């Protein structure tokens, strides 16, 4: 079986895990980031980016298709970082 970088499908359980972790990440990380001196927009950007990266990596590596190939694992991790921070940037700065 050939492993692809993007899983064939994303289930409801995966979407729930991503939404839950982003919500918890925003609740737990945004206030401490503001308290260290970041603006509200930057704290939302970083909190959403960090929590969605962790959630998307977990979903892509564990839930939706455990992979054995190390190069596919690295590509999935890189893809989760890029997609998460790109969407976080759009949500925090462009879609006000």
Instruction: Give the pLDDT confidence of 57-76 residue by residue, as tens digits.
Output: 999 888 877 788 899 899 98
pLDDT tens column, 82-91: 999 999 999 8
- Domain assignment present for residue 2? The answer is no
Q: How many domains does the chain have?
A: 1
- What gap in Å lies between CA 10 and CA 22, rounded to an integer? 17
- Domain assignment present for residue 7? The answer is no
What is the helix (H) or strand (E) element at residue 91, kind and residue range?
none
pLDDT tens column, 2-59: 677 777 777 899 899 999 999 999 999 999 999 999 999 999 999 999 999 999 999 9
pLDDT at 2: 66
Backbone angles phi and psi of 36, in degrees to 5:
-90, 0
Helix (H, G, I), strand (E, B) or coil at 4: coil
Q: Residue 1 above 60 pLDDT?
A: no
Around Cβ 91, how many Cβ atoms within 10 Å? 16
Range(s) of the domain holding residue 35: 12-94
- Is residue 55 classed exposed, middle or buried when 0-12, 13-18 and 19+ CB atoms within 10 A define those classes? buried
The tokens describing 53, both together, are 């990266």
- Domain assignment present for residue 6? The answer is no
- Domain assignment present for residue 23? The answer is yes
- Domain assignment present for residue 5? The answer is no
């Amino acid at each position: 079986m050939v492993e692809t970088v993007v899983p064939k499908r994303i289930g409801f359980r995966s979407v729930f895990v991503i939404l839950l972790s982003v919500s918890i990440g925003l609740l737990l990380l945004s206030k401490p980031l503001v308290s260290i001196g970041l603006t509200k927009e930057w704290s939302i950007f970083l909190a959403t980016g960090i929590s969605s990266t962790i959630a998307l990596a977990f979903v892509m590596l564990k839930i939706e298709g455990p992979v054995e190939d190390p190069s596919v694992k690295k590509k999935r991790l890189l893809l989760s970082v890029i997609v998460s921070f790109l969407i976080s940037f759009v949500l925090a700065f462009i879609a006000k």
